[in-house]
Amino acid sequence: MTITSKDLKLLLQKSGNRCAFPNCGELLIHADSDNIDEQTVLSNIAHIVAQKGDGPRGHYALPLEERDRENNLLLLCEKHHKIIDDQPQRYTVERLRQFKEDHEKRIEELTGMVSSKQLETIQYVTERLYSNLFEVIEMPAHIYCAPSKLHQSQINEIRQAIVPPKDKNEIYPFIVREGNLYSFQNLKYGGGPFQHVVDTEKSRSIRAYDFWNDPIKTLWFLDLLNQTLNKLTGRKGLMWDKEHKRYYFQPDKPGEIKEVEYRPLNQAKSTKQVVWQPLKKSTNEPHPYWLHRAVNLRFHQVNQSQWCLSIRPEFRVTKNGFEPLDSEKIGGKVTRKKSRMFNYDLLGEINFWRDFLCGSEPRIILSFGKGQQLIVSSNMLQTDVQWPGMPERYAKPFTNVEYQEDLFSWAKLANLKIDADEDEEFLSEEEGEDYDDE
């Protein structure tokens, strides 16, 4: 048996160039200069249990094939190597193993302290970290339920029977489950959008909070929220990619680039291409495909009563601005595009989408009429972090962090408050069954 290079490396690294004999700690390399030829190795590799049975401590019950392994080796200076081998009765296997364990532990602790001191010299800065999550300030307080006159399979007939609200800003998502239609609209009002679809006299209200405590009905609630997003994005001119569950821009005309005006990270106004045909860098000729900015929007319940909306920028690839590119040809193009998006670029994409969706206002307000609304803050959830920071040449500003309140945005909130008070008044006049799901 011989000592393998791996066992030798382990022994040398764990020993830290010091003799393992207690209170010795002598350096095991003597160097008068940086010239390697003028450096002297003073270390001896000692066996705790000798390689052969007639050596120091060789009678110990350790298989011969284990005696050249790192856990049976001790790195010592010449002096202490001779001492332990000349006095095997005093320096027993157990005692030498303790020497080894204590020494390697001490080296580990000391090198760890050096590492910690080096870290302490690094100057940390406090910076703001922005996320792609946005707080839901207000969720609809109730879900309304009434027996449906049409079956769930007759979804097109239901849509045709809906009477669009007079308020064109009002959104009216719905689902049909187990013979009932569920909506955020108050189905008790006979003149509502579902007046020809449900039996309004048998309608009832259910607290949204009760839905959230039921795993099945939480999914129903999410279906209503997703339909709400479909309405919002549809009114913003976005298309729905059902296969990949994302919304995307489509060109107004075939072969035409599309741009959108928005408020970027550090300017008052700019434009961004949302549909374009990228050019080859080498020849400046167009690639045989089109890129579309896209986004994945999802609501997340973060605890029993709080929700947030996530915005995840995506890309869609088509042959001509309309026809999807073959799936096997998309992955590499999108991956290359995303791989070039560093932190500031990603922040810029998230900022673009939040600005587009909220219209540069402090919040996204989705009204369901009669005091029912969904309100999402347009401020990214954020926290402060301490870290070494980035080189100044790479640091870029983010000045449009928040959108300022103005008379128009304030008036929208004021009108919602009036509607909410009227709806609360209406509910308080009815019987307690309104708050019962059974």
Question: Is residue 130 within 8 Å of residue 396, measured between CB atoms?
Answer: no
pLDDT of 170 higher than 60: yes
Contacts of 102 (CB under 8 A, 6+ apart): 22
Res 188: pLDDT: 84
Structure tokens at 437: 């799901």
Structure tokens at 315: 């890309």
Res 119: pLDDT: 54
Could you report how far apart the first and last alpha carbons of the chain are, in Å? 80
Question: Is residue 144 within 8 Å of residue 182, measured between CB atoms?
Answer: yes
- Give the Cα-Cα-Cα angle 348, 349, 351 (nearest 5 degrees): 65
Round to whole Å and give the CA distance between 146 and 360. 37
- Give the Cα-Cα-Cα angle 222, 226, 231 (nearest 5 degrees): 145
Report DSSP state, residue 98: H
Structure tokens at 24: 């010795």
Res 328: pLDDT: 64
Structure tokens at 323: 């026809």
Identify how many contiguous H helices and E strands the chain contains and give both numbers. Answer: 9, 17
pLDDT tens digits, one per residue of 296-339: 999 999 988 899 999 999 999 999 999 988 766 666 666 666 66
Supply the pTM of this predicted model: 0.67
Q: Which residue has the higher pLDDT, 396 or 417?
A: 396
pLDDT tens digits, one per residue of 337-384: 666 666 888 999 999 999 999 999 999 999 998 889 999 999 999 999
Average pLDDT over residues 54-69: 89
What are the distances in angstroms from CA 239 to CA 157, 294, 316, 346? 23, 9, 11, 22
Structure tokens at 390: 């980035």
Res 430: pLDDT: 46
pLDDT tens digits, one per residue of 153-169: 888 999 999 999 888 88
DSSP string, 344-409: HHHHHHHHHHHHHHHTSSSEEEEEEETTEEEEEEEEEEEEEEEE----GGG-------SPPP-HHH
Cβ atoms < 10 Å from Cβ of 217: 18
Question: Three-state DSSP class for 40?
Answer: strand
